[in-house]
Amino acid sequence: MSSSATLPASMYDIQQAIIEEFNVLADDREATLQYLIELGEQLPPFPEEEKVPKNQIKGCMSTVWLSCQVQGDVLYFQADSNTTITKGLISLLIRVLSGQSRSDILHADLFFIDRIGMQQFIGSQRMSGLASMIQTIKELAIAPASAHTQGSDESALLREQILDAIKQVHDPEIPVNIYELGLIYEVNIYPLNNVHVLMTLTSPNCPAADIIPSDVKSKISMIEGVNEVDVEITFDPPYSTDRMSEAAKLELGFL
């Protein structure tokens, strides 16, 4: 257990209150999970327009959205999830960390998780997701603005380098790069220069289905300053030749 000297009084007191609440449940797994669900239901409504890929937390089994508002040196979080227990978990993190300073969030010892024996109630996979939530919140405390804007000169330059790298990737059977083909749906740059690419393939049965995403990841990873690269394949919406650039259509005889 951490001493109160190592944490802001409010953060320490909030965690102690959470521990006391869960202790009342006397290690009753069913009651604990029900309480987690109730806590999630108490979260303020999350704006539908904020449920976008850039606000999704990677590494969770469920879909978790997290937005951050900055006032001076203090961060305020809002969150939601598509599953009830995960929503309860993120509600606990927000309860402890929202309204705290960047420094306090970065150095927070979230001792309440071990003290209430969270893993025995939610299992290892959800614990892994919880760790991803904590990591994302701490990344936002390092550079909260960069998760929501790419307007800075540095971010714009990195984005241009990423797109240039993607343009080096080709389907082996098509003489046009995948960017001009319209296979790239989204490129998101997160805190610590973690990159997420949402892309598709010309068809689910594409012979290069394993090669192309791997090549995209490899090319982007070679850019100086890039940290982690996540390439996600989707077929929603399905690919259409309408997504091709004019140059690609001309090259392939569609014009």
Q: Give pLDDT tens digits for 13-67.
A: 999 999 999 999 977 989 999 999 999 999 999 999 889 888 999 877 789 999 9
pLDDT band at 130 (very low <50, low <70, confident <90, very high): very high
The whole-number pLDDT of residue 143 equals 58
pLDDT band at 8 (very low <50, low <70, confident <90, very high): low
Contacts of 58 (CB under 8 A, 6+ apart): 132, 136, 196, 230
Of residues 133 and 73, more confidence is placed in 133
pLDDT at 101 over 80: yes
H-state helical runs in 71-230 = 84-97, 102-106, 112-115, 118-142, 153-166, 178-181, 211-221
Domain range summary for the chain, segments of one domain joined by +: 4-147, 153-251
pLDDT at 153 over 80: no
State the catalytic residues: 60
What pTM was computed for the model?
0.56
Per DSSP, 237 falls in state S
Per DSSP, 56 falls in state B
Share of the chain above pLDDT 90, in %: 53
pLDDT at 149 over 70: no
pLDDT, tens digit, for every residue of 180-234? Answer: 999 998 888 877 788 999 999 999 999 999 999 999 999 999 999 898 999 999 9
Q: Do strands 194-199 and 229-233 pair parallel, antiparallel, or not at all (unpaired)? A: parallel
The whole-number pLDDT of residue 144 equals 42
Of residues 30 and 3, more confidence is placed in 30
Please name the CATH architecture into which domain 4-147 falls: Alpha-Beta Complex (3.90)
For residue 20, what are its two tokens?
């006391």
pLDDT, tens digit, for every residue of 182-195? Answer: 999 888 887 778 89
Mean pLDDT is lowest, of 133-137, 155-159, 171-175, for 155-159
- The CATH class, in words, for 153-251 is alpha beta
pLDDT band at 150 (very low <50, low <70, confident <90, very high): very low
Whether the link from the prior residue into 237 is cis, omega within 30° of 0, is: yes
pLDDT at 131 over 80: yes
pLDDT band at 72 (very low <50, low <70, confident <90, very high): confident
